[in-house]
Structure formats: structure tokens, C-alpha cells
Amino acid sequence: MIDRRSLLRAAGAFLTGGAAGAPAAIAQDLAMLPFKNGERPLASYPGKRPLIR
């Protein structure tokens, strides 16, 4: 049987560990175009492939 204290400790450890992956989730995909300053962010829309924003 799991007591409340160990459940809260495990949930806190899970949430703290999940926060470390947040910057990776925020990072955008980029498209490189063949000219100077050619980095462009990609936008994703339902039913479409990633599009240059």
C-alpha cells in the first residue's frame, strides 16, 4: 500500500524531472534557406506538413 507521503514525494520528483524537458518542448524547428540569414521558424497546422512562417 502506498501512503500519502510517498505518493506526494514521487509526484514531486516526476514533476521536477518533467520541468527539465520543458525548454526542449519550447524550442522551435527551423528551416535553413540557401541565403544570408536564411533561418526561418516552421509552423505546424493540423492536416498539413510544417510550413515556413
Q: Using one digit for the tens of pLDDT, what is the confidence trace for 23-41?
A: 555 556 888 888 888 888 8
**Average pLDDT in the chain:** 77
Among 32, 34, 30, which Cα is nearest to 42's? 30
Number of domains in the chain: 1
- Percentage of residues in the chain with pLDDT exceeding 90? 0
More reliable by pLDDT, 13 or 22: 13
Q: How much is the CA Rg of the chain, to the nearest whole Å? A: 20
Q: Locate 26 and state its grid cell.
A: 519550447
* pLDDT for position 19: 55
Q: Which domain holds residue 43?
A: 4-52
